[in-house]
Amino acid sequence: MRIRIFASLLTVSSLWAQGTPLSLADAVTRGVRTNIAVLVNETNRDSAIGADKRALAALLPNLSISVAESVRQTNLAAFGFSGFAGSFEGFKSVVGPFGLFDARAALNMSLLDLSSRYGRQASTENVASSREAIDDARDTVASLVASLYYQAVALESRLRTAEAQRATSERLYQQAQDQKNAGVVAGIDVLRAQVQLQGDEQRVIAARNDWAKQKLRLANAIGMPLTDPIRLTDTQMSETTVDLTLDGALQEALQGRADYRSYATRIRSAELRVQAARAERLPTVGVQSDYGLLGKSAVQTHGTFSVTAGVRVPIFEGGRIEGDIQQADAQLREQKARQMDLANHIDLEIRSAMLDIESASQRTAAAKTATRLADLQLEQARDRFTAGVTDNLEVVQSQSAVAVAQDNYINSLFELQLAKAALARALGQTERNLQRFLIGRSN
């Protein structure tokens, strides 16, 4: 039996040593690099940059060059000139063929268009908002990866605990057999110890399966091949809380939350859209010019040019401008309302996370004490059974108490890590705050 226990422990040790080492920071880095939400927001940013370039193009000079050479023959009779043939001597209704060469540079430019200028500024704010959206997506992914990572850590702890309990049950089963062979205890004690051992074996099997599946979920979330085993390196779940006041956390969140900053840029963009819509009522000034060489052929040309400046004054647009103003103003009010709602939601997230941290910390301390007392109870029950004072019913009951206490301790530790990860997300800059709260260092 001792050989069997030793072999089991060797198998467990090799199990923990297998796989690619993966820290929480590595997992978060992989997650934000490969997650579809981040990739989609990056494409939205590129689209916003393209729209900003188009808006800028409306304000910049438009220069083009064209070269054309043609040969024409025209039937004047088709244009109603056939009656002139009898009135003028030598008049022909068919003219040509004749050549025409034209090489020309054209320059078009808007000199004054306030609506387009405001529109371009709004597009620039949209680019800034799209960049903030990427940071917000990274924060969300980082929080999700941290939750999955510590779920795997908690399940690994449960597996270790279950295997330790199984090893204890094996030793107690062997002890009960030895005492029965010596005529000290009854056969019911051996049977009871064997039932306990089989129950612990089932718990080990279930815990190993849950742990393996959770690592697959983690690998899938961070873009690692599911065929590659991983080994978690940040397996210590800290019992420490966070040193942060509520007012300080709220202030930090309003400055650090990318989604809140994104609404600030959206509001500025909406304000500029309103100004752009109102500026549609104002005159616009533009100039069109061209210069080129015109002649029968490329070697028989003469320079020609034209310059046209114009002012366009909107008089009646059928209510289009009023509609644009009303639509832009409605979008501005919507963005302001969403920002206020987000601020209230951030307040709720921070308060909830800090309450959860305090509660989980207290439950961790209580569960730690309960675990220590349960271990002491089991030790005393084993001593009483060894001394023949009682049967092993007390031992089995004490083993169950130890299992419950250890499970409660792991659960409370896990919930504490989740609460700290939730606070890191609520504050913004999640990747940095995960290092700060969960690993104990900051970048």
Going from N- to C-terminal start, the domains of the chain cover 2-59+113-280+319-439, 65-111+285-316
Question: Residue 97: which pLDDT band, with cuts at 50, 70 and 90?
Answer: confident
The mean predicted confidence, pLDDT, of the chain is 87
Residue 6 confidence (pLDDT): 39
Residue 83 confidence (pLDDT): 57
Which stretch of 158-172, 284-298, 357-371, 386-400 has the lowest confidence by average pLDDT? 386-400
Over residues 317-322, mean pLDDT: 88
Contact 380, 203 (CB under 8 A): no
Question: Residue 10: which pLDDT band, with cuts at 50, 70 and 90?
Answer: very low
Residue 381 confidence (pLDDT): 86
Is residue 304 predicted with pLDDT exceeding 90? yes
Over residues 69-85, mean pLDDT: 75
Q: 204-219, pLDDT tens digit by residue? A: 999 999 999 999 999 9
Question: Residue 442: which pLDDT band, with cuts at 50, 70 and 90?
Answer: very low
301/101 Cα distance (integer angstroms):
8
- Per-residue b/e over 394-414, b at no fewer than 16 CB within 10 Å? bbbebbebbbebbbbbbbbbb
Residue 440 confidence (pLDDT): 57
Question: Residue 89: which pLDDT band, with cuts at 50, 70 and 90?
Answer: low
Residue 1 confidence (pLDDT): 39
Q: 120-178, pLDDT tens digit by residue? A: 999 999 999 999 999 999 999 999 999 999 999 999 999 998 998 898 888 888 888 88
Is residue 267 predicted with pLDDT exceeding 90? yes
Is residue 32 predicted with pLDDT exceeding 80? yes
Is residue 5 predicted with pLDDT exceeding 60? no
Question: Residue 87: which pLDDT band, with cuts at 50, 70 and 90?
Answer: low
189/186 Cα distance (integer angstroms):
6
Residue 95 confidence (pLDDT): 78
Three-state SS across the chain? CHHHHHHHHHHHHHHHHCCEEECHHHHHHHHHHHCHHHHHHHHHHHHHHHHHHHHHHCCCCEEEEEEEEEEEEEEHHHHCCHHHHCCCCCCCCEEEEEEEEEEEEEEEEEEECHHHHHHHHHHHHHHHHHHHHHHHHHHHHHHHHHHHHHHHHHHHHHHHHHHHHHHHHHHHHHHHHHHHHCCCCCHHHHHHHHHHHHHHHHHHHHHHHHHHHHHHHHHHHCCCCCCCCEEECCCCCCCCCCCCCHHHHHHHHHHHCHHHHHHHHHHHHHHHHHHHHHHCCCCEEEEEEEEEEEEEECCEEEEEEEEEEEEECCCCCCCHHHHHHHHHHHHHHHHHHHHHHHHHHHHHHHHHHHHHHHHHHHHHHHHHHHHHHHHHHHHHHHHHHHCCCCCCHHHHHHHHHHHHHHHHHHHHHHHHHHHHHHHHHHHCCHHHHHHHHHHCCCC
Q: Which amino acid is at 29?
A: T
Contacts of 322 (CB under 8 A, 6+ apart): none
CATH 3.40.640.10, domain 2-59+113-280+319-439, yes or no: no
Q: 38-67, pLDDT tens digit by residue? A: 889 999 999 999 999 999 998 999 999 999
Question: Residue 421: which pLDDT band, with cuts at 50, 70 and 90?
Answer: very high
219/205 Cα distance (integer angstroms):
21
Measured CA to CA in angstroms, residue 424 lies from 26, 41, 437 at distances of: 17, 21, 7
Q: pLDDT > 70: what percent of the chain?
A: 93
Q: Which amino acid is at 11?
A: T
Residue 301 confidence (pLDDT): 87
Over residues 254-283, mean pLDDT: 93
